[in-house]
Amino acid sequence: MSYEAATIKFHGVVQGVGFRPFVYRVAYEMQVKGWVNNTANGVTIHAEGVDLPCFYRRLLSELPTLALVKHHTFESVEVEGFTEFSISQSDMANSGEVLISPDVATCPECLADINSPTNRRYHYPFTNCTNCGPRYSIILDIPYDRPNTTMRQFTLCPDCGVEYYNPYDRRFHAQPIACPRCGPTAILRDTAGAELPGLGQLQIASGAIIAVKGLGGFHLACDALDDRAVEQLRNRKKREAKPFAVMARDLAVVKRYCYIDSEEEKLLSSPAAPIVVLQLKAGLSELGLPESLAPNLNTLGVMLPYTPLHHLLFADGLDLLVMTSANRSGEPLVTDNAAAVRKLDGIADYWLTHNRDICHPIDDSVIRVINGQAVFLRRARGYVPLPLELDDKFLPIMGVGGDMKNTFCLLKDNRAFISQHGGDLGNYDNYKQFTHAVEAFAKVVKANPAELACDLHPDYYSTRYARNSGLPYVAVQHHHAHLVSCLVENGVKDKVLGVVCDGTGFGLDGNVWGFEFLIGDRREFDRVGHLEYLPLPGGDNAVKYPGRIALAYLLRLLPQQADKIGTYFMDIAPEEKAIIAHQIRQDFNTYATSSCGRLFDAVAGLTGICSLVSYEGQAAIELEAAIMPGESGVYSYQIDSDQGMQLIRVATMFSEIMTDLRAQTPLGQIAAKFHNTIGAMILTVLHQLRCEYGASQVALTGGVFQNKYLVEYLVPRLTNAGFTVYQHRRLSPGDGSLCLGQAIIANEVNKNVSSNSR
Ligand code: ZN
Ligand code: ZN
Ligand code: FE
């Protein structure tokens, strides 16, 4: 083999992840000479040696844990005669295309460091290295260097300096590097502000509620095995029924309470360390867990400790902690120490704070494994701000998303950067947080939108933001945006059938859409089917009390059974029943809706499975949780074809559910049959549409497709029937992915405009 030279380039997440020291080590082992350098686009290597293809292969197969190579090239060049291999100090001032890493869970080596009494980082809560630690949450600006992070106020001590500058050290160029001598400190205080020793483990063990500052914001923590503490947290936080997420000491603890398959285990232990929604092995109380952890559910959201601080909280024999976002319900994340003391007054007994500031507030991500695949319920910490790689180049457009579960998206060349979840923009503080986040996010991903895309809903706050921005904007129909985001994620450009099932979206006819069959692509769509319009009684009460929706639907669908209907809904006062009956008869103060979410609400209300909704999606979630497995029955429904529009009619379904209720059929059986029926309706309509349009590619999108039972019922049947099925893999199926579809559709609109004007 002859002595040769090559230029090797890597693009992707290759900076701030220990890439250059890794190259250095492999080069040293293989006696390769030359240099490695960070460039504006990634990492470039000049290599000279005898078997460079082998060197290249080794680099690719042994990549550092956090590196994500999107693109790599190998090109033979002239030998220049280097006598050693070196790491060039990079001049990164104008780095344009370097991806910022998400925050990363503590790596095994750092965990060993904090558990080793002889290590200088023994029990140090801010230990990290190039393979782990805070990233996105602490970045103020790019390039990603310590002075551009919230670590800039901490000057490296000599020991940390040695590690930072030594290419053989695991902490070489780890920007958040710290130790007890030079880094951030954690302080425990009581309500009077007095400092206490420890991190609060003892207080938690004796039943206290502690506000804990984590990576992306404050959590409220208490012992998840302590009934009284969990109940108290629920009362103080005024959180009625929404399940609490828990943090388990380790996988063994998780397995004590939940079933867990290999995919779920992989997710839990991954560097992103998301909350994974797992099936409980038995009822909560049978497992010795408080009922109030997750009322009426058979699942639990579980995560593993992902910072040294979290690991240390478990040091004294605690097994399972409630770890719930510390914000009051509907408000933004709490990230600031002073705000935490103010806002959590009356909720927390103690505050565990630290002096490393959080620049980008970010929630825990939530994932559920459905049909063997990870489905995002919330995409945030551990994933943001990594972009989606797209199949085309796009204009610099920002999709501002919708008002619920808001996310926004910045297109930049062939990438889409999607923000973390914000809250409901109807809350003023959330809206303010959204406007800050837009600026901070755009800065870090170096994208400057020249145009906006928003929802068609004229009253959404996100729409108003677009309208008032001073930039040109395009308003996009909600369900078209859902469809296109799913298509883009899957790289599909064809016209396909789209099934969009969600709670609410502003329709082209001004009605509230939500159980929609579309045929469309990135440019345009036709509505080719939907659930028949049903009357949603006006006012907030309807969405809060599913029984009222059920009553309204039944009165419209089965007027001849009105007397019988009156005997259900014991929890609705007679006067109120009369008002609803009047509303339906006169069509007064009602909205016409084809919403799928409201159909779930109505069935949950009719069966009494959920009679009071205190968090979004509760009725549907509890209806799914009530399912008795093994039931294959399906209720009847009708499909009417009217001028190419397929209309799903549900009167017979409701009538049969009432018959089942009168026969005292177990509710779990009714819940299962209802789910089967939704699946069957979708299958029937799709068969019809395939005949009519010849399309056999189907995209499933909308929040309803976070329902594990429904997806696992539907997808295998679709596949068996010869359909090609597309689902969300990188983003949430719910409104969290609207922003991507909006931006892509706006890009198409622009292309059209410019080609028309030519
Ligand atoms: Zn580490
Ligand atoms: Zn130090
Ligand atoms: Fe939606």
Q: How far is CA 464 from CA 203, 429, 467, 742, in A?
A: 46, 16, 5, 15
pLDDT, mean of residues 707-714:
98
pLDDT, mean of residues 425-451:
93
Give, as residue ranges, everything with CB less than 5 Å from ion ligand 1: 107, 110, 129, 131-132
Give the distance (Å) from ligand 3 centre to CA of residue 726. Answer: 17
The pLDDT confidence band at residue 301, using thresholds 50, 70 and 90, is very high
Q: Which two tokens stand for residue 155?
A: 């000057």
> Could you tell me if 178 and 154 are in contact, meaning their C-beta atoms sit under 8 angstroms apart?
yes
The pLDDT value recorded for residue 451 is 97
pLDDT tens-digit readout, 57-87: 999 999 988 888 989 999 999 999 999 998 8
> Could you tell me if 139 and 446 are in contact, meaning their C-beta atoms sit under 8 angstroms apart?
no
Give the distance (Å) from ligand 3 centre to CA of residue 476. Answer: 12
Helix intervals (H) in 126-166: 158-165
> Could you tell me if 362 and 715 are in contact, meaning their C-beta atoms sit under 8 angstroms apart?
no
> Could you tell me if 87 and 28 are in contact, meaning their C-beta atoms sit under 8 angstroms apart?
no
pLDDT, mean of residues 240-258:
97
Residue 667 parent element (H or E): helix 667-693
Give the distance (Å) from ligand 1 centre to CA of residue 126. Answer: 10
Residue 21 preceded by cis peptide, ω within 30: no
Give the distance (Å) from ligand 2 centre to CA of residue 146. Answer: 14
| Nearest listed ligand to the Cα of residue 17 | 1
The pLDDT confidence band at residue 93, using thresholds 50, 70 and 90, is very low
The pLDDT value recorded for residue 570 is 80
Give the distance (Å) from ligand 2 centre to CA of residue 132. Answer: 17
Give the distance (Å) from ligand 1 centre to CA of residue 129. Answer: 4
Give the distance (Å) from ligand 3 centre to CA of residue 494. Answer: 22
Beta bridge partners of 219: 212, 325
d(CA 677, CA 631): 12
> Could you tell me if 50 and 137 are in contact, meaning their C-beta atoms sit under 8 angstroms apart?
no
Identity of residue 671: A
Give the distance (Å) from ligand 1 centre to CA of residue 56. Answer: 26
458 C-beta neighbours (distance < 10 Å), count: 12
User: Phi/psi of residue 516, each to 5°?
Assistant: -120, 140
d(CA 101, CA 129): 13
Give the distance (Å) from ligand 1 centre to CA of residue 609. Answer: 46
pLDDT tens-digit readout, 352-363: 999 999 999 999
Give the distance (Å) from ligand 1 centre to CA of residue 128. Answer: 5
d(CA 275, CA 294): 14
Q: How far is CA 444 from CA 91, 168, 359, 378, 741, in A?
A: 18, 29, 11, 21, 22
Give the distance (Å) from ligand 1 centre to CA of residue 22. Answer: 15
d(CA 311, CA 321): 11
Edge-to-edge order in the sheet of strand 4-13 = 68-77, 4-13, 42-49, 33-39, 85-87
Higher pLDDT, 58 or 750: 58
d(CA 649, CA 645): 13
pLDDT, mean of residues 297-324:
96
The pLDDT value recorded for residue 70 is 87
Give the distance (Å) from ligand 1 centre to CA of residue 92. Answer: 24
| Nearest listed ligand to the Cα of residue 597 | 3
> Could you tell me if 66 and 95 are in contact, meaning their C-beta atoms sit under 8 angstroms apart?
no
Give the distance (Å) from ligand 2 centre to CA of residue 169. Answer: 14
Give the distance (Å) from ligand 2 centre to CA of residue 150. Answer: 16
Q: How far is CA 552 from CA 568, 583, 584, 654, in A?
A: 12, 8, 6, 12
Give the distance (Å) from ligand 3 centre to CA of residue 478. Answer: 6
Within 8 A by CB and 6+ apart from 365, the residues are 272, 274, 275, 376, 378, 379, 380, 381, 382, 383
Give the distance (Å) from ligand 1 centre to CA of residue 245. Answer: 25
| Nearest listed ligand to the Cα of residue 505 | 3
Give the distance (Å) from ligand 1 centre to CA of residue 130. Answer: 6
Beta bridge partners of 412: 415
Is residue 182 helix, strand or coil?
coil
d(CA 673, CA 661): 13
Give the distance (Å) from ligand 1 centre to CA of residue 109. Answer: 6
> Could you tell me if 313 and 321 are in contact, meaning their C-beta atoms sit under 8 angstroms apart?
yes
Residue 472 preceded by cis peptide, ω within 30: no
How far does CA 293 lie from the centroid of its chain?
A: 21
Considering just the CA atoms, what is the radius of gyration of the chain in Å? 28
pLDDT tens-digit readout, 126-169: 999 989 999 999 999 887 889 999 999 999 999 999 999 888 88
> Could you tell me if 295 and 242 are in contact, meaning their C-beta atoms sit under 8 angstroms apart?
no
pLDDT, mean of residues 736-749:
97
d(CA 601, CA 617): 8
Give the distance (Å) from ligand 3 centre to CA of residue 703. Answer: 6
Residue 517 parent element (H or E): strand 512-520
The pLDDT value recorded for residue 97 is 60
**Domains, the chain:** 4-98 (3.30.70.100), 186-366 (3.90.870.40), 392-490+735-758 (3.30.420.360), 529-681 (1.10.357.160)
The pLDDT value recorded for residue 755 is 64
| Nearest listed ligand to the Cα of residue 481 | 3
| Nearest listed ligand to the Cα of residue 178 | 2
Is residue 440 helix, strand or coil?
helix
Give the distance (Å) from ligand 2 centre to CA of residue 676. Answer: 59
The answer on pLDDT for 324 being more than 50 is: yes
| Nearest listed ligand to the Cα of residue 406 | 3
